[in-house]
Structure 1
Amino acid sequence: MENSRVLRIVIPTLVGIAFLLLWEFLVRINGVPTFVLPAPSSIWTSFIANFASLMDSLWVTLSITVLAFILAVVGGVGLAILFSQSRIVEMALFPYAIVLQVTPVVSIAPLILIWVGFDRVQFALLILAWIVAFFPILSNTTLGLRSADHNLRDLFRLYGASRWQVLTELQLPSALPYMLAGMKISGGLALIGAVVAEFVAGSGASTGLAWRIIEAGNRLDIPKMFAALLLLSGLGISIFFGLSWIEHLLLRRWHESALRREE
């Protein structure tokens, strides 16, 4: 098992190093201009030269993403619990949650900016990122709460369990794998929402990584653009693996999916 874990780390690392070396070699041997495709060494040099501004922008993007994700988890789980307790509430509100999901964030971003005010761009970005991240948690958690074993639910009722006891001791534990799967999707979507919203906002008042990419592109500073893009990719990968680790910790001792992974 330990060898398998080591290979899961070593093999992707070696493939990544080989890809970077090949990239560097092909760019140099073919004399590709920097403004078309910079070599990894040029991207690294630009990253070091712009380290302070890129880290500041990374923090802005990260803070919006994390806050939008937290609000999506709280709102999505809370509303899913409400849906599980009241069919009428679910029928009344679920269609509007679907409307939020299927409406492209690009199309509503200008409206949100106008309503919130151009002096509060960060708040507008937070709203847009939350809209994108909200629905996966709501839909997955709702499905998980519905998927609790009906035989166990009847047994709880037979022994006189209250609705609160059924919810906390049966439905929520049963819904946990679904909820965590929704969170893994939502974490990446929160980042995508924040970035897309910042592209649409197109304001220098916004200092996230998306604005650094726009700024570098306007100045044809392609190495800096790649550096910002790689930071965004690294942030997305970190969010995914962080949530996967949390999922593993919470499910590894009892859920079938995690137990099979351990074998």
Structure 2
Amino acid sequence: MKTLINSLLPALTLIACLVLWELGVRWADIPAYTLPAPSRIATTLIDNWSSLATSWWFTIKITLGALALACLGGILIASVFSLSPRLERAFFPIAVVLQVTPIVAIAPLMLIYIESTTVALLLCAWIVAFFPILSNTVTGLRATDRNLVELFRLYRASPWQRLTLLRAPAALPYFLTGLKISGGLSLIGAVTAEMVAGSAGRETGLASRILEASFRTETPKMFAALALLVLTGVLVFVLFNILSFFLLRSWHSSEQIDEFDQSS
């Protein structure tokens, strides 16, 4: 019974917040153009589903595409860094520069230099999502048990064998942590870049729908698009939480439920 209550608690909390929001708007008689009630947002979402769904899919494609590139680049570069510390010292500062440069400053330049708006948005989202995966993976590769490293050297394992058979499994929890962070950042990067780009491209995402609605003072439509963005971020986070659970539950303590925590 306690397990069921703990599982339903987040959903019940969210429902309670939505009910309080609905009642507060109705009680205070707040106009929809100032703060729409959840019921009005749901109605707007249904009425504009065709255009919002198309934009939602575009935003999802940019987000997942940027995240896939960030994973591929982060894993490959982190592996190279673990094999060659000299290359890490030489090129890691470049990754730091990309991380600390504001995306709102990069996006206009991308739109100037890259003809395709979609590619420019993809690169902007990739820049935001890339560093957490790289940094966490490098940290995980470094965190390998030194005694095991010496054991592999004793048995004359090659650098590639040490990487694939020892360091990579040890770095998996760190990589998954970076993946959870980058999942949300890729969505933020895609939305921020599109906000800067406006509606210049023929294909536009939810950020463009929010801008269009703000120009027309269609606040319920802005909230409807924002709700889809929040839903996307939550689904990405939940998906990677489930992935982390199935990959780590049998051997890593971070995904093993403590009996004391379960009883409480």
Whether TM exceeds 0.5 here: the answer is yes
1:197-216 matched pairs, under 5 angstroms: 197-205=193-201, 206-216=203-213
Tell me, in whole angstroms, the C-alpha distance in 2 between the residues paired with 1:86 and 1:38.
56
Q: What is the rounded CA distance, in whole Å, between the counterparts of 2:74 and 2:216 in structure 1?
A: 41
Q: 1:236 is matched with which residue: 233, 240, 246? A: 233
* Equivalence for 1:100: 98
Residue 138 of structure 1: aligned partner = 134
Post-superposition CA distance 1:178-205 (Å, at most 9, x none): 0000000011100000000000111242
Residue 250 in structure 1 maps to residue 247 in structure 2: yes
Q: Distance in 1 between matches of 2:120 and 2:2?
A: 45
Could you tell me which residue of structure 2 aligns to residue 225 of structure 1? 222
Cα distance between partner residues in 2 of 1:6 and 1:146: 39
Work out the CA distance in 1 between the residues paired with 2:185 and 2:142. 24
Q: Which residue of 2 aligns with 1:177?
A: 173
The structure 1 residue matched to 2:79, chosen from 81, 89, 94, is: 81
What stretches of structure 1 move > 4 A for 4+ residues in a row?
none
- Normalising by the residue count of structure 1, what TM-score does the alignment of the two structures yield? 0.95
In the alignment, is the contact (CA less than 8 A) between 2:62 and 2:190 conserved in 1?
Answer: yes
Separation in structure 1 between the aligned mates of residue 247 and residue 13 of structure 2, nearest angstrom = 31
2:34 is aligned to: 36
Q: Say whether the 8 Å CA contact 2:117–2:200 is kept in structure 1.
A: no
Query: Structure 2: how far apart are the matches of 1:4 and 1:153?
Result: 43
What's the CA shift for 1:23?
1.3
The superposition leaves residues 82-141 of structure 1 with CA deviations (integer Å, 9 ceiling, x where unpaired) of 000011111111000000000000011111110002xx1111000000000000000000
Counterpart code for 2:182: S
Between the aligned residues of both structures, percent identity stands at: 54
Query: Which residue of the partner structure matches residue 154 of structure 1?
Result: 150
1:45-56 matches, within 5 Å, as 45-56=43-54
In 2: Cα distance, 1:238 partner to 1:217 partner: 26
CA contact (8 A) 2:194 2:208 kept: yes
Rounded to whole Å, the distance in 1 between the matches of 2:255 and 2:21 is 37
Between 1:233-242 and 1:205-214, the stretch displaced more is 205-214
Contact 1:64 / 1:125 at 8 angstroms: preserved in 2? yes
Please give the root-mean-square deviation of Cα atoms over the aligned residues, in Å: 1.2
| Count, aligned residues | 259
Deviation track 1:143-187 (CA, whole Å, cap 9, x = no partner) reads 100111111110111112111111111100000000000000011
Whether the 8 Å contact between 1:204 and 1:211 is mirrored in structure 2 is: no
Amino acid across the alignment from 2:235:
S
- What's the offset of the Cα at 1:250? 0.4
Question: Any unmatched runs of 5+ in structure 2?
Answer: none
Query: Could you say what secondary structure the match of 1:167 adopts?
Result: helix
2:123 aligned with 1:127: yes
Deviation at 1:9, TM superposition (A): 3.1
The more displaced of 10-19 and 77-86 is: 10-19
How far apart are residue 5 of structure 1 and its match? 4.1
Distance in structure 2 (CA, Å) of the matches to 1:215 and 1:74: 34
Structure 1 regions of 5+ residues with no counterpart? none
> Compared with structure 1, are the counterparts of its residues 44 and 179 closer, same or farther at alpha carbon in structure 2 (3 Å cutoff)?
same
